Structure 1
Amino acid sequence: MPLEILFSDFFQRALAGGILIGITAPLIGIFLVLRRLSMIGDTIAHVTIAGVALGFLIEVYPLGVGLVFAILASFAIEKLRKAYKSYAELSIAIIMSGGVALASLFFTLGMGYNTDVMSYLFGSIYTLDLMDLYVVGGVTVVVVLVVSLFFKEFFLLSFEEDAASVSGLPVKLLNMLITILTALVVSTAIKIVGALLVSALLTIPVAISLLLARSFKASVVWSVIIAEIAVVIGLVVAGIWNLAPGATIVLLLIAMLVMTLLGKKGRSI
């Protein structure tokens, strides 16, 4: 029976992992969107895939190696962003190119595991094991804790970086914190929605919340709620009808965005 899958152990692990990422992705995504760095998720995801490929090649926990690569990429992005202040998007393009190149290189060195790596490109949430859940859970705790502690600082930094600097805030440290948190979230999310779709989970819930909310705090809350709705419903639908879970979640988010836009347009008429 299709409904039996909802009570299986692997589905319960997938649901737990999805719910955790549904908290962290929009929580970080809102600061990225406001800082016009929406594409940083794609960049770090590509670098993470290179780390995952290397992990398979050297037979070390792939998600762990991918996480290390993601953090190193976050440092590199921040360094380049400071070097090219007037061309901040250049740092994203450079690091993405390097990530794709490394991933391609590792693909050719380990042809035998390419199928395993591909699961990280498109997501394989049903293969989450307890170690993956511990990693995702640990990242969730770190992200929620850091965002809670520096919420006001991140808020000011997102809207006016120069004003934050003048007011005496440690702008370099805060920028680095946001970038590292992004790396942690992206590297753990790729096994859930896939590297090619992870940016959607960072940005689309935020895009919807900005249409609905009347304050910054409300937009944060709404983005998390929207992400959780999409993750839970998307996983259930994908499980029952044997669909790709990552793609189902993202398409559901896009449908929610379209309905929100139509609703806003209808009320304005």
Structure 2
Amino acid sequence: MIEIFQFAFMQRALLGGLVLGFLLAILGIFVVLKRMSFYSDGIAHASLAGVALGILSNTNPLFVAIIFSGILGAIISWLERKTKIASDAIIGMFFTSGMALGVILLALKQGYQPELVSFLFGNILALQWNELYIIIVATVIMVVFLAIKYKQVALMILNSDLAHVSGINVGVYTTLLYVIIAISVVLGIKLLGIVLVSALLIVPVSTAKLFAKSLKSLTVWSVVISELTIILGLLISVKLNMPTGATIVLSGICIFFLFFIVKHFDGFFPKKQSKN
């Protein structure tokens, strides 16, 4: 089984998967704690318009979708602060309009578009070097930013009122977080596709929450579970010749239920000691 990693396409797939798994696990913590699951799913579907623009203009669809979704994330954040419209309603409008625009733009392009299928359902085995470079560079920039501003972002997520009192510009940091999540979702599309990408933001963190006792342990375990999910799903998909994205998602779900079942056996995971 190890021999297959001698091939360049598997090396690109594994490296790209591990990088994206790390990034999405970190951001998944913010998504789950701030209850932004619908936002990530909405951005994923709306990014079809960015993919279509790239295909129509013969430009790298991933690069165009990143720019498109980043701008879209900033607009959604701005509208949430400047209007009385509910957040899910704003996201729902862009969710549907982005999909609609993507369908119309793709209708203008004649012939079969194999790239579109990989963006819809994910195909990391087809990841090219230029796309891998984009993923790595974007990930490094976002992770460095989050590492530097981790305390501010974490406080904003956990208690926005306290963050505001502490002098943190909640509006700016919220917008930056929306943009970062939007870009990360688009990067993850190469791995899982528009339809399934939200799973890697939600499932590893949800699994880690079953037994993590602090934000630090939640972060560490989310990354570990995410990387395990990527490796396991990738190996199974290649071995059994199954769709990679769907196999990765189901691997993550299986890991979740495994931990869920095991957790309910008393004494397996240490419990907090009560103070008398």
Normalised by the length of structure 2, the TM-score is 0.92
For the residues of structure 2 that align with 1:222 and 1:24, how far apart are their CA atoms? 13
Aligned to 1:204: 203
1:77 aligns with 2:103: no
Give the superposition deviation at 1:243: 1.1
Shift of 1:102: 1.0
Q: 1:89 to 1:70 in 2, by over 3 A?
A: same
Please, what is the CA RMSD of the aligned residues? 1.7
1:86–1:142 Cα change, 3 Å: same
Structure 2 unpaired stretches of 5+: 269-276
Q: Deviations over 1:184-237 (max 9, x none)?
A: 211111011111111000111110111121000110111011000010111111
Offset, 1:28: 0.8
> What is aligned with 1:12?
11
Pair 1:110-2:73 in alignment: no
Partner of 1:33: 32
Q: Which has the higher mean CA deviation after the structures are superposed, 31-40 or 111-120? A: 111-120
Counterpart residue number, 2:122: 123
The 3-state SS of whatever aligns with 1:214 is: coil
- In structure 1, the residue corresponding to 2:195 is in which secondary structure? coil
Match of 1:187 in 2: 186
Following superposition, the deviation at residue 64 of structure 1 comes to 0.8
After superposition, the Cα gap between the structure-2 partners of 1:167 and 1:105, relative to the gap in structure 1 and judged at 3 Å, is same
Instruction: Show the 5 A alignment for 1:1-269.
Output: 4-84=3-83, 87-267=86-266
Q: Deviations over 1:236-260 (max 9, x none)?
A: 1111221111111110100111111
| Conservation of the 8 A alpha-carbon contact between 2:47 and 2:99 | no
Distance 1:217 1:3 in 2: 33
The question of whether the paired residues in 1 share the 8 Å contact of 2:78 and 2:175 is answered with no
Measure how far apart 1:96 and its partner are. Answer: 0.6
Identity, % of aligned positions: 36
Q: Residue 264 of structure 1: CA displacement? A: 2.0
Aligned-residue offset at 1:161: 1.1
CA distances 1:67-108 after superposition (whole Å, capped 9, x unpaired):
111111101110122134572222211211121111111121
Q: Kindly tell me: are residues 267 and 173 of structure 1, through their superposed partners in 2, closer, same or farther at Cα, counting changes over 3 Å?
A: same
Higher deviation after alignment, 117-126 or 40-49: 40-49
Length, aligned pairs only: 268
1:6–1:239 Cα contact (<8 Å) kept: no
Structure 2 residue matching 1:174: 3-state secondary structure: helix
Q: Give CA deviations for 1:154-174 in whole Å, capped at 9, x if unaligned.
A: 111111112211221111111
What is the alpha-carbon distance in structure 2 between the residues aligned to residue 250 and residue 125 of structure 1? Answer: 13
Report if the CA contact (8 A) 1:81-1:90 is conserved: no
Post-superposition CA distance 1:129-184 (Å, at most 9, x none): 11011101011101210111111111111111122112211111110111111122
Shift of 1:113: 4.1
